[in-house]
Structure 1
Amino acid sequence: MKSTETSYPIEKVRAQFPALERTYKERQAAYFDGPGGSQVVLQSITAIAGYMQRGGANLHGAFPSSWETEQVISEAREAAADFLNVQPNEVAFGANMTTLTIAIANALGKQFKEGDEIVVTEMDHRANVDPWLMMAEDRGMTVRWIPVDKEKLTLDMQDIDTLINDKTKLVALGMASNAIGTIVDLGPAVRRARQVGALVAADAVHAAPHMPMDREEQDIDILLCSVYKFFGPHIGIAAIRESIFKDLEPYKLTTSPSYYPDKLETGTQNHEGIAGIRPAIEFFASLGEGQTRREKILSGYHEIEMYENRLAARLREGLGALENVTLWQAADDVPKTPTIAFKVAGYEPSDICVILAEEHSIFTAAGHFYASTLGDVLDVNKTGGWVRAGLAPYNTEEEVERFISAIASL
């Protein structure tokens, strides 16, 4: 399908999300909290319940429910591989992105030594900072930070050749800011990392719901995301380049598999949650066209991006026109996710969220959203952080106008 301003199938999309039927204070709830966790698509809910209803089982059993569990995991890996443009055997599942990153950092740290260096950024969620900082502290490594340009609200890459040098072993980057929505141009840092032989780890948790993932094109070694941010259950995904994964030595039980990707998946996995991964990914494909699932996913992303960006432009315009509202957003020529961070003069951000919920049935969140260094740099943490409005494919024009009117009423 080719999207225009009127052809995006919003009613078809909304029909796939049962949570949208919820009412609060006798009004239909409007979810603007997608960056913290999206609503779950019906097909994913059905798959989770179906797995449990049929009878779940652990792996390696000589009976049907065990074989079916292995098949569920295999299908989920194949779907994730199409989603990220990786190989299925490079995909590992875990409790969430944070847990996976800590496990990967602990394993990678065994390969590094005192005097080696890592690079992190001031814009990132702490899940793509603290695991690497802990690793660096354990190994006696030096940490360097890519700063935020406080005026442009982008990463300042002007000293990248110094920050990433011959001692650098790993560069950790976020693909998009979960707080202010800036989509990061990874190119300069990735190219410099390749020049010095450093690994690149990328946090795609906030980016994955809004823009297509391509590990090969983006030249990333370790790519991480979370399914609950794109319409599925609370499961983390790590895609690790095979040449790195095969030598990785995670902390694990002696009896656990020593082959990848299983060696990173410590303990019994959330099998019912894994059953919900493929349907969540296929939601993107359902909006697209093509011969393969990958082609349909990319086409579906195109439809979603155009729709979300149009709604986000209206929301930014409406909020920006209000005298006492301050937006934190990069310039118009900087790509952004449909995530808007703002403050209203005279109100605590958390109080605004209460008013939105109790008086307008609009669900939002306030704070620094674990991008605490960014909040410090931009000097907002001491005043409660931001209010964050995040759009998803199921939000409507009416909800956007309702949001603008609610803030205007303050």
Structure 2
Amino acid sequence: MFDARFVRPQFPALSERYNGKPAIFFDNPGGTQVHESVIHAMTDYLTRRNANTHGVFATSRLSDETLDYARQAAADLLGAAPEEVIFGANMTTLTFMLSRSLAAEFGPEDEIIVTRLDHDANVWPWVMMAEDTGAQVRWADVDLETCTLDMEHFRSLINERTRLVAVGYASNAVGTINDVQTIIRWAKEVGAYTYIDAVQYAPHSLIDVKALDCDFLACSAYKFFGPHIGLLFGKREHLERLRAYRVRPAGDALPGKWETGTKNHEGMVGAAAAIDYIASLGATYGRASASASRREKLAAAWEVIGAYEYQLMDRLLTGLKTIPRVRIYGVTDRMDWDKRLATVSIRKEGLTPEALALKLAEENIFVWNGNFYAVSISERLGVEESGGLVRIGLVHYNTIEEVDRCLALIDRA
């Protein structure tokens, strides 16, 4: 059994005190706390091997080795080849970068599908690309009762003119896990690209880009216990063919073709450390042996983490259902809880989302309020003009006791 008490001391922020009291971090969908190994790895890099790459001297060669290790770790996280993983500032920046390159292949006869459920980082880059190329944007709608994609409507949008389908693996606003496997299959039937936003899915479950057979997939390390840096997977055939906007010395070889200028070395090192931390849980608590591959350990880790987070989510959702005047947005039927993450958004009658978040913040329970950049679903639910939602996001370093304290305060608010 996974024991959060073992890992909590490994996250320095969890022992900090704010206004003289410890904090409960339920702001995780906006960015998780950082594991101590990440801090140590980044400090070690900046102290002992900080240099630009491909030089003949010691620190440069050490940098090359360190960054190769980081890229392999990222590839293991996603189930990709190392040269298919691009590092960048964040998922949003990487998506805008790729959209600029893809734009050369689009024109007025083409259609792009985006959804009302997605974070705007997987919506507006494509809307702006459509404005530049004359392509048409089609919006996949949602079931407002469950905050799930309307799959019948989605399927009706896909046709021979569809060139790109952009969809999130999981909603950062309401926790819905989307059936991306089916959507990718539909897109492939008409020869369309697929772009998957896995930012919210990555901290909770295993990603396998080969099994998905998606064309592109992006996530961010600061959502899975690492530093602020983004990762983009692209199929080799696309990354080699597409034109990258780069300086001449960058060359045409992958992945450097897509990583303009000097990379965020310490961020890459930190991302690798975060991935290794997750993998260590697979050997400590999961079914992976100490000699197993990193990928095998990651798979085992996500099984353990998923089971524990389900317990946390069960406690949270069950408790919220008993509190008068609270509305839960998203999947609420216990039989369907495997279709959602432990990211739960609510409103309480009589309080604006900001007022409720402030009441929790007064007791050092950190939650987000607003639309979380998922503007379309906030508008579709009719809550945008009145302050959006309150979002409670759980990860494996949270505890049942923290959930109970949060529930009690929501009840009294």
Counterpart among 360, 363, 368 of residue 366 in structure 2 = 363
The letter for the 2-side match of 1:376 is E
Q: Is residue 251 from structure 1 mapped to residue 255 from structure 2 by the alignment? A: no
Distance apart, 1:192 and its partner CA: 1.2
Distance 2:168 2:198 in 1: 6
Q: Is residue 33 from structure 1 mapped to residue 27 from structure 2 by the alignment? A: yes
- When the two structures are superposed, what TM-score results if normalisation uses the length of structure 1? 0.96
CA deviations on 1:239-279 (whole Å, 9 max, x unpaired) are 10101110121222233232221111112111111111111
Q: Contact 2:49–2:63 (CA<8 Å) still a contact in 1?
A: no
Distance apart, 1:389 and its partner CA: 0.4
Identity %: 44
Q: Contact 2:146–2:329 (CA<8 Å) still a contact in 1?
A: no
Distance apart, 1:187 and its partner CA: 3.0
Superposed, 1:125-274 pairs within 5 Å as 125-274=119-268
Distance apart, 1:159 and its partner CA: 3.2
Counterpart among 8, 13, 36 of residue 7 in structure 2 = 13
Q: Is residue 353 from structure 1 mapped to residue 347 from structure 2 by the alignment? A: no
SS class of match (1:287): helix
The letter for the 2-side match of 1:340 is V
CA deviations on 1:255-310 (whole Å, 9 max, x unpaired) are 32322211111121111111111110112211111421111101000110111111
CA deviations on 1:122-141 (whole Å, 9 max, x unpaired) are 10000001111111111110
Counterpart among 19, 23, 34 of residue 17 in structure 2 = 23
* Unaligned stretches of 5+ residues in structure 1: 1-6
Distance 2:143 2:330 in 1: 12
Distance apart, 1:55 and its partner CA: 4.2
Distance 1:388 1:134 in 2: 28
* Unaligned stretches of 5+ residues in structure 2: 283-287
Q: How many residues align?
A: 403
The letter for the 2-side match of 1:270 is N
Q: Contact 2:148–2:330 (CA<8 Å) still a contact in 1?
A: no
Q: Contact 2:9–2:15 (CA<8 Å) still a contact in 1?
A: no
SS class of match (1:263): helix
Superposed, 1:5-84 pairs within 5 Å as 7-84=1-78
Partner of 1:406: 409
Q: Contact 1:157–1:188 (CA<8 Å) still a contact in 2?
A: no
Distance 1:357 1:161 in 2: 42
Distance 2:100 2:249 in 1: 19
Distance 1:319 1:158 in 2: 31
SS class of match (2:137): strand
CA deviations on 1:156-188 (whole Å, 9 max, x unpaired) are 111344311111111111000000000001133
- When the two structures are superposed, what TM-score results if normalisation uses the length of structure 2? 0.95
Partner of 2:327: 326
The letter for the 2-side match of 1:407 is I
Q: Is residue 342 from structure 1 mapped to residue 336 from structure 2 by the alignment? A: no
Q: Contact 1:160–1:192 (CA<8 Å) still a contact in 2?
A: no
Partner of 1:317: 318
* Structure in which a larger fraction of residues adopt helix: 2
Distance apart, 1:114 and its partner CA: 2.1
Distance 1:188 1:293 in 2: 28
Superposed, 1:269-284 pairs within 5 Å as 269-284=263-278
Distance 2:388 2:60 in 1: 47
Distance apart, 1:340 and its partner CA: 0.7
